[in-house]
């Protein structure tokens, strides 16, 4: 069986001095030049490839920082360790500005995967299909919301009669989506756990589900589970790239996909939140 040390040595070209398990999937490895890297084992080789491609695509925008990728091989991924710091107002504003620049770097289409990234990618533990499209409301309904709604119904997490609220929202997306936006370069899974406040005062983003999408989706994800200094993040963002009128009222629409993903993975509580979001958007 391949050891974490062997993976780190092969993908960095350095000798390993020590290793320390952090979890079942993560190991911290110290190299002979004192650098520290993280060796991550994914359950699927496609997930490691998608994460590596996503991180490199985000890094290519030269905006928000991400850990450097040393390489991936099968189920394995090796990247720089991020030394933890504390959230601050200054870092939040800079993060907001950088996130706006990241989105502004663009993507070839809604649903476009990163270069060298697989079409069959992942969001956390869930599969996510990157199928390009030109019209965001239709693409979001067909390739994000409805596939997970069907899975939630099939497994009994959402009852068929309840699903009609989400289906009606999808039908009305052209009028609920706000002004048309060009495809943005998204992190794609931008909840608080994937935002690392580093010791050097800069935010690092990890674990992307990167693709071309609507920029308000990343912002809605930041709000979904809370983020330190979120209002300062938004201040920095809007300073760099003002948001379209009514964006705050559209947050629920953009949260619907991750809520349905969580409903499929974690059960009824998230299903109820997704249904509440759909009903609120329809009533508004």
- Pull the structure tokens for residue 119: 């079409």
- Burial label for 101, CB within 10 Å (0-12, 13-18, 19+), is middle
CB crowding 255-276: b at 16 or more within 10 Å, else e: bbbbbbbbbbbeeeebbebbbe
Alpha-carbon distance of 136 to 199, in angstroms, equals 37
Catalytic-role residue among 6, 154, 189, 200: 189
Residue 116 among the catalytic residues: no
Q: Is 19 helix (H, G, I), strand (E, B) or coil?
A: strand
> Are the C-beta atoms of residues 70 and 76 closer than 8 Å to each other?
no
Q: Is 214 helix (H, G, I), strand (E, B) or coil?
A: coil
Q: Of 230, 225, 202, 218, whose CA–CA distance to 82 is shortest? A: 202
Residues tagged active-site: 189
């Amino acid at each position: 069986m391949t050891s974490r040390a062997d993976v780190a040595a092969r993908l960095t070209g350095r000798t390993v001095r020590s290793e320390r398990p952090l979890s079942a999937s993560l190991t911290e490895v110290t190299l002979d030049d004192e650098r520290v890297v993280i060796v991550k084992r994914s359950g699927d080789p496609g997930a490691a490839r998608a994460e590596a491609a996503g991180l490199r695509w985000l890094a290519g925008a030269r905006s928000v920082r991400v850990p450097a990728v040393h390489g991936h091989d099968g189920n394995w991924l090796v990247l720089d360790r991020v030394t933890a710091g504390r959230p601050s107002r200054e870092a939040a504003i800079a993060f907001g500005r950088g996130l706006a620049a990241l989105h502004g770097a663009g993507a070839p289409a809604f649903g476009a995967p990163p270069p060298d990234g697989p079409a069959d990618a992942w969001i956390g533990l869930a599969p996510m299909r990157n199928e390009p499209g030109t019209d965001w409301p239709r693409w979001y309904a067909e390739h994000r919301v409805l596939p997970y709604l069907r899975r939630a119904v099939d497994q009994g997490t959402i009852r068929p009669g309840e699903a009609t609220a989400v289906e009606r929202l999808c039908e009305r997306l052209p009028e609920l989506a706000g002004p048309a936006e060009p495809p943005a370069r998204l992190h794609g899974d931008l909840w608080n756990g994937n935002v690392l406040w580093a010791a050097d005062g800069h935010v690092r983003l990890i674990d992307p589900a990167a693709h071309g999408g609507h920029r308000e989706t990343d912002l809605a994800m930041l709000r979904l589970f809370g983020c330190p200094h979120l209002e300062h993040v938004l201040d920095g963002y809007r300073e760099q790239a003002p948001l379209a009128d009514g964006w705050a009222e559209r947050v629920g629409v953009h949260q619907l996909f991750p809520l349905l993903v969580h409903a499929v993975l974690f059960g009824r509580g998230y299903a109820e939140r997704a249904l509440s979001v759909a009903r609120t958007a329809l009533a508004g």
